Structure 1
Amino acid sequence: MGYSQAQKAESRQRVLETAARQIREGGIESLGVADCMRRAGLTHGAFYGHFASRDALIVEALEYAVAQSEKRIAALSTGSGAAGSAKKDPLRAIADVFLSDRHIRNPGSGCALCALAGEARHAAPEIRERLTLYVHTLASQIAQTLAGHSESLALGIVATIVGAVTLARAVDDPELARSILAGSLDLIVAQGGDA
């Protein structure tokens, strides 16, 4: 008995979700095909029915993770995102989500750029190309929340967010991690007021 197109699409979606989580949690090199397929509830043999190669899966998983992030940021920038964010200015809502304890503790469901920035310089050109595009998209989304729509300031905010998340995840002192996040949030919110 064969699988329907709907079942195949559902299985492929599970693999993408699983792979996207794995690369955000452990990095690109941590993704093993057999483990990913097992976690998605499929056999290793079914892999090539969905993807041409491990590299193809990584690129598509990154696309999936980035698309999730772009949707979340778009919702936050219009005030239709997380509960309570409609009362905040959009820049504050975006910064709050990125610079939250929840985001730091859960890289698998968070921003792919924050999770992969440190290793991206060693990644395949397709990965770097997609992350570069995401930097531009994220900066553009943030620029739309700034009074002057400054792309340059927005890039600085992206760099502040990614750096803060990277440092907060790197240190073994929870109080220092919270201070990094709080200080970065203050810096970003002040920039929004000056824009």
Structure 2
Amino acid sequence: MGYSQAQKAESRQRVLETASRQIREHGIEALGVADCMRSAGLTHGAFYGHFSSRDELILEALEHAVSQGAKRIASLATGAGKHGETPLQSIVEGFLSERHVKNPGNGCALCALAGEARHANPDVREQLTKYVRKLASQITQAASGGGEKPALGIVAAIVGAITLARAVDDDKLAKSILSESLALVMTQDGGAQ
């Protein structure tokens, strides 16, 4: 008995979500097709019914992760006023949280993959480049002006802070990296009271 188009789309979505999480947790090169398919509840043989190659899966999973990140940032910016925060403050506090540090599989793809991206294929680098620009644009809007250049600095600061906080083996130092980065970035908030 064959699968309906809806079932196939649902299965493909599960594979993308699984691969997206796995590349953020373990890196692009660690993604194994068999393990990904098994984790998504499908057989290895079903892979080619959804994707033509592992590279296609990686690019689509990365696109999925980037899309999730952009939506999360937009949601943080939109919900900012509820807690008396500026949009930038809401975004940066959401980004620079211990939860984000400890859950790379559900976090920002750029934070998870920045270190290995320079060794990645051009398509992966292109995807991450687009995300840097998108994130900078979202930061520019949230920061109530200031333009793209300061926003790029903020993106670099928050991505770097998460990357460093994940790299160190000292929780106190990791927390200091997050809090000091937050304080530094917030000096750029044109919308602060």
Measured against the shorter chain, the TM-score band is over 0.9
Alpha-carbon distance in structure 2 between the residues aligned to 1:178 and 1:141: 25
Alpha-carbon distance in structure 2 between the residues aligned to 1:22 and 1:146: 32
Alpha-carbon distance in structure 1 between the residues aligned to 2:90 and 2:60: 28
Q: Against the structure 1 CA distance between its residues 48 and 124, is the aligned structure 2 distance closer, same or farther, given a 3 Å change threshold?
A: same
- Superposed, 1:13-162 pairs within 5 Å as 13-79=13-79, 86-162=83-159
- Larger displacement relative to structure 2 (69-78 or 26-35): 69-78
Deviation of 1:85 after TM superposition, in Å, equals: 5.4
- Larger displacement relative to structure 2 (55-64 or 70-79): 70-79
Aligned partners of 1:77 and 1:142 also within 8 Å: no
Alpha-carbon distance in structure 2 between the residues aligned to 1:6 and 1:25: 29
Structure 2 gap segments, 5+ residues each: none
Aligned partners of 2:92 and 2:158 also within 8 Å: yes
1:17-40 CA-to-partner distances (Å, cap 9, x unmatched) read 000000000000010000000000
Alpha-carbon distance in structure 1 between the residues aligned to 2:144 and 2:12: 41
Deviation of 1:190 after TM superposition, in Å, equals: 1.2
1:168 corresponds to which of 145, 165, 168: 165
TM-score scaled by structure 2? 0.96
Aligned partners of 1:76 and 1:85 also within 8 Å: no
1:189 match: 186
Alpha-carbon distance in structure 2 between the residues aligned to 1:33 and 1:48: 10
1:48-100 CA-to-partner distances (Å, cap 9, x unmatched) read 000000000000000000000001111122226xxx85521110100011100
Aligned partners of 2:146 and 2:190 also within 8 Å: no
Q: Against the structure 1 CA distance between its residues 101 and 85, is the aligned structure 2 distance closer, same or farther, given a 3 Å change threshold?
A: farther
Deviation of 1:149 after TM superposition, in Å, equals: 4.0
Task: Indicate the percent of aligned positions where both proteins have the same amino acid.
Answer: 71
Deviation of 1:146 after TM superposition, in Å, equals: 1.9
Structure 1 gap segments, 5+ residues each: none
1:115-145 CA-to-partner distances (Å, cap 9, x unmatched) read 0000000001100000000000000000001
Aligned partners of 1:85 and 1:93 also within 8 Å: no
| Secondary structure of residue in 1 paired with 2:79 | coil
| Secondary structure of residue in 1 paired with 2:42 | coil
Aligned partners of 2:145 and 2:190 also within 8 Å: no
Alpha-carbon distance in structure 1 between the residues aligned to 2:171 and 2:139: 28
Deviation of 1:4 after TM superposition, in Å, equals: 0.3
TM-score scaled by structure 1? 0.95
Deviation of 1:189 after TM superposition, in Å, equals: 0.9
Deviation of 1:193 after TM superposition, in Å, equals: 4.2
Q: Against the structure 1 CA distance between its residues 101 and 9, is the aligned structure 2 distance closer, same or farther, given a 3 Å change threshold?
A: same
Alpha-carbon distance in structure 2 between the residues aligned to 1:85 and 1:117: 32
